[in-house]
C-alpha cells in the first residue's frame, strides 16, 4: 500500500471566507440571544445562600399585583436550563423566579445527603418566601413549576402547603409519596418519548386522584426528558395553568437554543482561521526510506488482509479498554470526587485512556495503526507550539462554555468546580491521547473509537456499572466527542502529532463535565 497523501491546509481564500462566515454567524447568534431578552426585566438575587433569578415582563409595578411562579430544575439542571419557561410566564404577566438548588448552577453548596427532600424543600421555602415578599406579587397566587427532580420537590412542597395555588410537574419521577388528592390543582406534563418510568409515574399520579382540573395529564408527543422543556405545547400548558393571565404573548422556547446553535456553528467554522493564525502554514517533508517502511506498508502488498487484521485488533483494544474502564470506574478514587456522575465518567475515561495507550504500545508492529507518511510537518518553534496550544485550548473552552451557558444551562465554574476542572480535564486528556494513538491522524479511526466508547458507557449504565443518569447525558457526551473529531481533523492539517488534538479535545469534553454536573 502506498503512503497516504499529504493533507494540506486550506487555501488563504478559504480561510478568509470561513472567518467572515464565522463572524456573521456569531453576530446573528448574538442578535437572536438579545432578542430573547427583549421586553423582559431580569434581576439576580441571593437569599440565604440560594441564588435566584427574577424575570418580569416589564418594570416592577407595586400597584399591579401579579401571580408569582417558582420554577425548579431537575437533577444536573440549573436555573438557566429553565429560563425559556420563565420567559413564557413572564410574558403572560406573571413574575417568574428561577432557583438553583444546592450543588447546581450558580449554587456552590453541595447536594447534601443524596439530594435529600429536606434540602430541596428548604431551598423552595426560601424561594417562595422571597417571591411572596415582592411588592408586585399577589401572595395568594403562587404557582410552582418543576422538572424531574424539581417536579418531585414542588409536588411534595405543595402537598404540605395548601396555600400554593397551583402546581405543574414536568416529568415527575414518582408519585408514591404524595397523599391522595394533594396537592390540589396539579398539572402533570410528560414527554411522549420519555423513559417508561416517567410515563408510569404520571399515570400513577392520575389514577390515585392526585390531580384536579381540566385533565389528569398532558402528554407532549415526540419529545424526551430534556426536549420536553422546549416544546411549545409544554409552554402553552404552563401559561394556561397560571392562576390568572394578563397577556397572550406566544411562547418562544427556541430563541435561546437558536442563538446558541448559531454560536456553535460560528465557533466550529472559526476553528479553521484560528488554527491558521496560530499554527501557520506547513512545509511537506518526505520521510526517509527507513522511516517510511516503519510507518506504511510496502507498495504491492495485499491490502485487504492487513487492513482487516489491523481494524479488528484496534477495535478489540478499544472495546477491552472501555469495558475494563467501565468495570473499575465505580471503585476508583475519582468516583469519590464531589461531582455527581462526572467523577464516575472521569474515572472511566482515565482508565480507558491508560489502557488504550499501554495496549497500543504492546501490540505487534504489524497491527499498530500506521502513521501517515510524507506528512507535512509544522515549521514552528516549541515556544510557538505551546502558545498555539494554549490559545486553541482557550478558544475551545470559549466555544463550548459560551453557547451552553447562554443557550442551555449553567457552564460557569463556582465553588469546588474550580479545583475539579484540572482533574476532569486531565482524565479527558489521557483518554484522548489514547484515541489519538489508535487513530494515527485518521478521522475514521477517531470516529470508531469514540463510537465504541459511547456504546460501552451506555451499556455500563444499563447493566448497573455506571449511574443510571448517564443514559440521559450520553447524547451530549456523544455530541462533544463528535465535535472533537471534527476539530482534530482540522488541526491535523496544520500540526501533526497526537498531543494538540488531544489538548483541544480535552477542553471541549472536560469543561461541560466539570461545570454542568452536580456538586455533592
Does residue 272 contact residue 18 with C-beta atoms inside 8 Å?
Answer: yes
What is the number of other CB atoms lying within 10 angstroms of the CB of residue 298?
9
pLDDT tens profile 376-422: 444 557 787 888 899 999 999 999 999 999 999 999 999 999 999 99
Strands of 48-185 (E only): list them: 50-56, 66-72, 95-99, 137-147, 166-170
Q: Angle at CA 495, nearest 5°, toward 493 and 498?
A: 105
Tell me what percent of the chain is helix, strand and coil, each rounded to the nearest 5. Answer: 55, 10, 35
120 vs 19, 75, 113, 152, 419, CA distance in Å?
A: 47, 11, 11, 10, 26
Q: Give pLDDT tens digits along the chain (520 positions).
A: 344 444 566 778 899 999 999 999 999 999 999 999 999 999 999 999 999 999 999 766 667 789 999 999 999 999 999 999 999 999 999 999 999 999 999 999 988 754 688 889 999 999 999 999 999 999 999 999 999 999 999 999 999 999 999 999 999 998 767 777 778 889 999 999 998 889 888 887 777 655 545 456 889 999 999 999 999 999 999 999 998 766 678 899 999 999 999 999 999 999 999 999 998 755 444 444 544 444 444 444 444 555 666 667 777 888 899 999 999 998 999 988 999 999 999 999 999 999 999 988 777 665 555 544 444 444 557 787 888 899 999 999 999 999 999 999 999 999 999 999 999 999 999 999 999 998 888 898 899 999 999 999 999 999 999 999 999 889 999 999 999 999 999 998 887 677 899 999 999 999 999 999 999 8
Does residue 173 contact residue 152 with C-beta atoms inside 8 Å?
Answer: yes
DSSP 106: T
DSSP 39: T
- Cis peptide leading into 183, omega within 30 of 0? yes
Judged on CB neighbours under 10 Å (0-12, 13-18, 19+), 154 is buried
Which sign does the torsion angle of CA 346, 349, 350, 352 carry? positive
Give every CB contact of residue 289 below 8 A, 6+ residues apart in sequence.
Answer: none
- In order of their start, the domains of the chain are 12-28+257-516 (no CATH), 40-248 (3.40.50.1820)
Strands of 28-132 (E only): list them: 41-47, 50-56, 66-72, 95-99
**Three-state SS at 404:** helix
Q: What pLDDT, on the 0 to 100 scale, is given for residue 345?
A: 96
Bridge-partner residues for 393, per DSSP?
none
Q: Which residue has the cell 382540573?
A: 213
- Cis peptide leading into 431, omega within 30 of 0? no
DSSP 519: B
Amino acid at each position: 500500500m502506498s503512503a497516504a497523501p499529504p493533507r494540506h491546509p486550506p487555501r488563504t481564500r478559504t480561510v478568509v471566507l470561513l472567518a467572515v462566515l464565522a463572524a456573521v454567524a456569531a453576530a446573528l447568534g448574538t442578535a437572536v440571544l438579545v432578542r430573547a431578552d427583549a421586553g423582559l426585566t431580569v434581576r439576580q438575587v441571593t437569599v440565604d445562600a440560594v441564588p435566584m433569578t427574577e424575570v418580569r415582563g416589564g418594570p416592577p409595578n407595586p400597584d399591579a399585583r401579579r401571580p408569582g411562579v417558582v420554577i425548579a430544575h431537575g437533577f444536573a439542571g440549573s436555573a438557566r436550563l429553565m429560563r425559556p419557561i420563565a420567559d413564557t410566564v413572564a410574558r403572560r404577566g406573571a413574575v417568574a423566579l428561577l432557583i438553583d438548588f444546592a450543588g447546581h448552577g450558580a449554587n456552590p453548596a453541595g447536594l447534601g445527603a443524596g439530594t435529600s427532600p429536606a434540602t430541596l424543600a428548604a431551598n423552595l421555602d426560601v424561594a417562595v418566601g422571597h417571591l411572596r415578599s415582592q411588592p408586585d406579587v399577589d401572595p395568594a397566587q403562587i404557582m410552582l413549576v418543576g422538572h424531574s427532580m424539581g417536579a418531585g420537590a414542588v409536588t411534595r412542597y405543595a402537598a404540605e402547603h395548601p396555600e400554593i395555588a397551583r402546581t405543574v410537574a414536568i416529568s415527575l419521577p414518582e408519585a408514591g409519596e404524595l397523599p391522595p388528592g394533594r396537592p390540589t390543582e396539579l398539572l402533570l406534563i410528560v414527554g411522549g418519548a420519555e423513559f417508561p418510568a416517567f410515563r408510569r409515574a404520571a399515570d400513577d399520579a392520575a389514577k390515585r386522584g392526585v390531580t384536579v382540573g381540566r385533565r389528569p395529564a398532558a402528554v407532549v408527543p415526540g419529545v424526551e426528558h430534556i426536549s420536553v422543556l422546549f416544546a411549545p405545547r409544554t409552554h402553552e400548558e404552563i401559561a394556561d395553568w397560571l392562576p390568572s393571565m394578563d397577556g397572550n404573548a406566544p411562547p418562544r422556547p427556541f430563541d435561546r437554543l437558536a442563538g446558541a446553535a448559531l454560536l456553535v456553528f460560528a465557533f466550529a467554522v472559526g476553528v479553521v482561521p484560528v488554527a491558521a493564525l496560530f499554527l501557520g502554514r506547513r512545509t511537506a517533508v518526505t520521510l526517509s526510506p527507513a522511516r517510511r517502511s516503519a510507518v506504511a506498508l510496502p507498495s504491492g502488498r495485499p491490502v485487504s488482509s492487513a487492513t482487516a487484521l489491523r481494524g479488528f485488533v484496534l477495535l478489540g483494544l478499544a472495546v477491552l479498554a472501555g469495558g475494563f474502564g467501565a468495570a473499575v470506574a465505580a471503585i476508583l478514587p475519582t468516583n469519590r470526587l464531589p461531582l455527581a456522575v462526572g467523577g464516575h465518567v472521569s474515572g472511566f475515561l482515565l482508565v480507558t485512556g491508560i489502557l488504550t495507550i499501554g495496549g497500543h504500545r504492546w501490540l505487534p508492529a504489524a497491527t499498530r495503526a500506521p502513521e501517515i507518511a510524507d506528512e507535512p510537518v509544522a515549521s514552528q518553534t516549541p515556544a510557538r507550539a505551546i502558545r498555539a496550544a494554549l490559545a486553541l485550548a482557550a478558544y475551545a473552552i470559549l466555544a463550548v462554555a459560551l453557547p451552553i451557558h447562554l443557550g442551555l444551562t449553567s457552564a460557569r465554574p463556582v465553588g469546588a468546580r474550580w479545583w475539579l476542572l484540572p482533574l476532569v480535564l486531565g482524565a479527558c486528556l489521557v483518554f484522548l491521547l489514547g484515541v489519538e494513538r489508535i487513530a494515527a491522524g485518521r478521522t475514521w479511526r477517531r470516529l470508531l473509537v469514540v463510537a465504541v466508547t459511547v456504546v460501552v458507557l451506555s451499556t455500563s449504565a444499563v447493566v448497573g456499572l455506571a449511574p443510571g443518569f448517564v443514559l440521559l447525558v450520553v447524547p451530549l457526551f456523544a455530541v462533544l466527542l463528535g465535535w472533537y473529531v471534527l476539530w482534530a481533523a482540522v488541526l491535523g492539517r496544520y500540526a501533526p502529532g497526537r498531543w494538540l488534538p488531544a489538548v483541544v479535545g480535552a477542553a471541549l469534553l472536560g469543561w461541560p463535565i466539570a461545570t454542568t454536573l452536580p456538586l455533592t
